[in-house]
Amino acid sequence: MQYKWLFVFSIIVLVASTIYITLRVLKWWKSYLGRQRFRSGNKAEKRALKFLQKNGYQILASQYKLEHNFKIDNEPICIELKVDFLVQKKNLKYLAEVKSGLSAPNIRNKDTRRQLLEYHQLNPFEGGLLLIDMQEKRIRKVEF
């Protein structure tokens, strides 16, 4: 009888340990993928900087800040957004967002579309908004 309880206890400890280790590995993996995405994005932005200059754009700012002020239930809220670049070509200023990978540069990607729509809403510049597709090496003008 004593061995039966020891066996059951051992199984419980084994299952609990397996669950704990699995959760830790999943947490590490998610963190690892986030770091990889961040590094990939930084590399794409560096390549995009040269690509924009090569195509006649002057870089006025990197990580250009926009402020978004609104209210929820009459409570004022201010959100700061950072667009990859503020650029100029032929006296027109543009906000430029860099995307890389297979799906992110596609305007049909809901996250990209929502981000660009938010930038469009706050864009104070006459030139408009550019989507820099580093996968296809294309500069695309976005209009809503």
Tens of pLDDT, residue by residue over 37-65, are: 656 557 888 899 999 999 999 999 999 99
Domain spans of the chain, in order of start? 46-142
Q: What phi and psi, each to the nearest 5 degrees, are found at residue 123?
A: -70, 115
For residue 18, what pLDDT is reported?
Answer: 87
pLDDT of residue 36: 63
Fold (topology level) of 46-142: Lambda Exonuclease; Chain A (3.90.320)
Cα distances (angstroms) measured from residue 49 to each of 86, 115, 124: 11, 20, 21
Q: What is the pLDDT of residues 67-103, one digit of tens each?
A: 989 999 999 999 999 999 999 999 999 999 999 887 7
